[in-house]
Amino acid sequence: MSTVAGVLSRLESKRLTTIARTAVSELRSNRLTLVGALIVAVLGFVAIVGPLIVPYEPAAQDLSNRLQGPSLAHPLGTDQLGRDVATRLVYGARVSLGIAILVTALRVLIGTTVGMVAGYAGGWVDELFMRLVDVQLAFPGLVLALVVAGILGPSLRNVMIALAVVGWTTYARVVRGSVLTIKERKYVDVARLVGTPRLRLFRRHLLPGVVNPVIVIATLNLGTVVLATAGLSFIGLGAQPPTPEWGTMLAGGRQYVRSAWWIVNAPGVAIMLTVLGFNLLGDGLRDALDPKQQARVEEV
């Protein structure tokens, strides 16, 4: 019996490898996905390397150079306090992308855990978890995030908590649905019959089957988290001055839209490109990891 389980497990691993290769081929042939991947790669490079090479400090003020337009010394001009906008934009990339990654990781951890436990256990456990998900989904996500951030107080840490609290339910529902399908497959039944420990069963048989949809949702979520973080910071619930966060930069420069357009245009374009990059990449991953594509691989 254990030999049968091993053979079925190896066949499943081979199937997943074939699907991965097909997905990579699909991604390479999709130009929009490559554009999204390039944007994300550039943003990641700027966030990691940029702060090490910029010539100014993000909070350094020079009132004699306030509201100066783009120049060789300041490629994106200076703001109302004489701070270099390009420097603050680069540091803001690290802040915004760092928050997006941490919040998305928390959402994935909570949602995947809840979804796997609910889908595998079934019964009253499944019913309890799914009703909790339904209750949370009854409230608009952004409104709930505003309430949580408002109660906890304005700070980046509290914004992260607020966004993580309201965003895990999508993962829970998707993962639960995948687990309900996977646990009925023959290799899972055989693994249970031979006494495979539950943790090993989750890690070796259930988790690989839910990776694809989780990757797609997480990629799309990264852009929305960047946008939500900037929005909460813009209204004063997120990053506080002088933190170089894109939403805070927008809020600080909104009264200079006509006289110093570069102050708000720079972070605005950065937010737009970030969301666009993650959306293009997420759409490409969704197409490449499409269950219909997987079905075609299984037929082959």
Q: For the residues of 108-120, what is the DSSP string, one character each?
A: HHHHHHHHHHHHH
| pLDDT value of residue 22 | 56
Cα–Cα separations (whole angstroms), residue 12 to 46, 192, 233:
39, 16, 46
Cα separation of 197 and 193, whole Å? 11
Q: Using an 8 Å Cβ cutoff, are 59 and 99 in contact?
A: no
Per the CB < 8 A criterion, the answer to whether 97 and 43 are in contact is yes
CA distance 241 to 79: 13
Rounded distance between C-alpha atoms, residue 40 and residue 127, angstroms: 39
SS (H, E, C) 69-109: CCCCCCCCCECCCCCEHHHHHHHHHHHHHHHHHHHHHHHHH
* Per-residue pLDDT, 99: 92
Angstrom distance (rounded) from CA 77 to CA 65: 9
CB 206 within 8 A of CB 182: yes
> In the prediction, which pLDDT does 29 show?
63
3-state DSSP assignment of residue 277: helix
pLDDT given for residue 14 in this prediction: 55
**For the segment 188-203, what is each residue's pLDDT rounded down to a tens digit?**
667 676 666 666 777 6
Contact 152, 162 (CB under 8 A): yes
Residues 6+ apart with CB under 8 A from 33: 27, 280, 281, 283, 284, 285, 287, 288
Burial of residue 236 (CB within 10 Å: 0-12, 13-18, 19+) is: middle
Tell me what pLDDT residue 299 has.
34
Cβ atoms within 10 A of the Cβ of 88, count? Answer: 31
Render each residue's pLDDT in the chain as its tens digit; 300 residues.
Answer: 445 445 545 544 555 555 555 555 655 667 788 888 999 999 999 999 988 888 888 888 888 888 888 888 888 889 888 899 999 999 999 999 999 999 999 999 999 989 888 888 878 888 888 888 888 888 777 788 888 888 888 888 888 888 988 888 889 998 888 888 877 777 666 767 666 666 677 767 677 778 888 888 999 899 999 999 998 988 888 888 888 889 999 988 888 888 888 899 999 999 999 999 999 998 888 877 765 444 333 333
Structural domains of the chain sorted by starting position, each given as residue range(s) with its CATH number in brackets? 2-299 (1.10.3720.10)
Instruction: Extract long-range pairs of 284-287: CB within 8 Å, 24+ residues apart.
Output: 284/26, 284/27, 284/30, 284/32, 284/33, 284/34, 284/36, 284/37, 285/23, 285/27, 285/33, 285/215, 285/216, 285/219, 286/216, 287/26, 287/30, 287/33
Which pLDDT score is estimated for 103? 93
Cβ–Cβ < 8 Å for 126, 115: no
pLDDT at site 225: 92
Distance from C-alpha of 28 to C-alpha of 26, rounded to nearest angstrom: 6
